[in-house]
Structure 1
Amino acid sequence: MPEFIFVYHGGKTPESEEEGAKVMEAWKSWMGSMGDALKVPGAPVGMSKTVSGGGVADNGGANPVSGYSVVQAADQDAACEMAKGCPMVADGSGSVEVAEIIEMDM
């Protein structure tokens, strides 16, 4: 079964410890709902830099990455259905980019 990377964009930093606990519980609940389909829980990421032929920019690009996960699904449509439950999508603070991971023989 194919694997898909979820690339998270956006989100917001909780303003209080209580809000942080609520947000963490929402993420745990969503990730738990995926069961064995969640292959790599992933993690949030820090500020990114963009490397191009013109050099290195500290701006994180047009839509900076805020985290990632890897899931297994029958197809991209099924993976997108899973992504719809992401807490950032549910609260409107972010989005999830869904792309199939292509295996390469090296």
Structure 2
Amino acid sequence: MPNFLFVYHGGSMPESQEEIDKTMAAWGKWMEDNGSNLVEPGNPVGMSKTVSASGVADNGGANPASGYSVISADDIDAACAIAKSNPMIVDGSGSVEIAEIVAM
């Protein structure tokens, strides 16, 4: 079964303990529900830099990544179905970019 990289865009850090608890519960449920497909739960990421031939930009680019996961699924459509239940999609705070990891 192929693996897929989920790159999260958007979202925000919870500000209160109540928001932290709610966010952690939602992610915990998503991970539990998709445990058989979860290769690497991933993590949030900090601000990124974009390196190109013209130099280094400190702004994270046009759509900076906010985190990642690695999922195993039958195909990209199945991976998209898993992403639809992701907390960032359910609460409308962000998006998930999905790409198959090509074994070399």
* Paired AA for residue 73 in structure 1: A
* Paired AA for residue 60 in structure 2: G
What residue in structure 1 maps to residue 5 of structure 2? 5
What residue in structure 2 maps to residue 48 of structure 1? 48
Query: What TM-score, normalized by structure 1, do the two folds share?
Result: 0.96
* Paired AA for residue 99 in structure 1: A
1:15 and 2:15 are equivalent in the alignment: yes
What residue in structure 2 maps to residue 61 of structure 1? 61
CA-atom RMSD, angstroms?
A: 0.6
Compute the displacement of 1:9 (Å): 0.2
Query: What TM-score, normalized by structure 2, do the two folds share?
Result: 0.98
More deviation, 61-70/13-22: 13-22
**CA–CA separation in structure 1 for the residues paired with 2:73 and 2:54:** 37
**CA–CA separation in structure 2 for the residues paired with 1:61 and 1:97:** 15
What residue in structure 2 maps to residue 70 of structure 1? 70
How many percent of aligned residue pairs carry the same amino acid? 66
**CA–CA separation in structure 1 for the residues paired with 2:36 and 2:46:** 27
What per-residue deviation string (whole Å, max 9, x for no partner) do you get for residues 27-67 of structure 1? 01001101221000000000000000011000100000000
**CA–CA separation in structure 2 for the residues paired with 1:36 and 1:87:** 18
Runs of 4+ in structure 1 over 3 Å off? none
What residue in structure 1 maps to residue 33 of structure 2? 33
**CA–CA separation in structure 2 for the residues paired with 1:35 and 1:91:** 21
What per-residue deviation string (whole Å, max 9, x for no partner) do you get for residues 51-88 of structure 1? 00011000100000000000100000000000001111
Please show how residues 65-104 of structure 1 align to structure 2 within 5 Å.
Answer: 65-104=65-104
Alignment length (residue pairs): 104
* Paired AA for residue 80 in structure 2: C
**CA–CA separation in structure 2 for the residues paired with 1:41 and 1:13:** 18
Give ranges in structure 2 of 5+ residues lacking alignment. Answer: none
